[in-house]
Structure formats: C-alpha cells, structure tokens
Amino acid sequence: MKQRLSKTALIALLVVVMPVMALAGGGCDAAFGSDAPAIIKVQSSWGPAERAMAAGHYARALRELHATMPALRSIRKPFMRRCVAGGAGIRIAAAMAGLDYIQAHSGDLVGAKKAAHHAWIAFPMADNCP
C-alpha cells in the first residue's frame, strides 16, 4: 500500500529541505546535471522577453530569445533540450505573431497582444516536461 505524505510533512519538506538543497548546490544542478548552466542561460531570457512582449516590444523579445539559441543547442540530454526548446518556442511563436500583427495593422498593440496570446495558447507543449 502506498503511503502519502501528510500536508504538514509536505510543507516541512518544502520549507526546510528545499532551501537546504539549494544552498548546498543541489537545486537546479542536481535536477539537470551538467546541462544546468545552459538551461539557466536559456530560461534567463524568458522573463525579459515576456516583459518586452507585455510592453508591445515584440522585436526586442525576439532578439532576447534568439540570443540564447547557442546555449539551447549545447544542452546534451535530448529530453531536456526538447523541453527547454518547447518553452523557448512558445515564446518565439507569440513574439512572432505579435510582431507580424503590428507590421500588418500599423501598430495596433491591442490586436498584437491578442495575436500573441492566441499563438501562445495554440502552441503544442509536451505534458511530461519539468
């Protein structure tokens, strides 16, 4: 019979053990191994790119995302490379949709945000990625 963690034990695990693992260098490094620096480099562009898209600067978001493509190609584990590429791809698709809309409709930011949102939700993502 499987035993489940109680809510108290789960909270204790999250509050006590996880920060200790992070301080000990066991956070991302333990989960992703030698690919951790490349994964972190790619994912570090996602926040600035999303903020640029939210402000209507789709070209800047694309530049930010494309700048990390060499790091994406350096991820050795195929499964992790595919997952990180999916995360980057969804953002690139949204930025391209927003940029295309702005160029076709003379700077309509509201329409561009809608186009980017529709591209985001239509992008196929793998459900088994961390």
pLDDT, tens digit only, all 130 positions of the chain: 444 544 444 444 343 333 433 433 444 555 788 899 999 999 999 999 999 999 999 999 999 999 999 999 999 999 999 999 999 999 999 999 999 999 999 889 999 999 999 999 998 877 777 7
The overall pTM is greater than 0.75:
no
User: How many whole angstroms separate alpha carbon 130 and alpha carbon 27?
Assistant: 13
Helices (H), the chain: 7-12, 18-23, 28-32, 36-43, 46-54, 58-66, 69-73, 78-104, 109-122
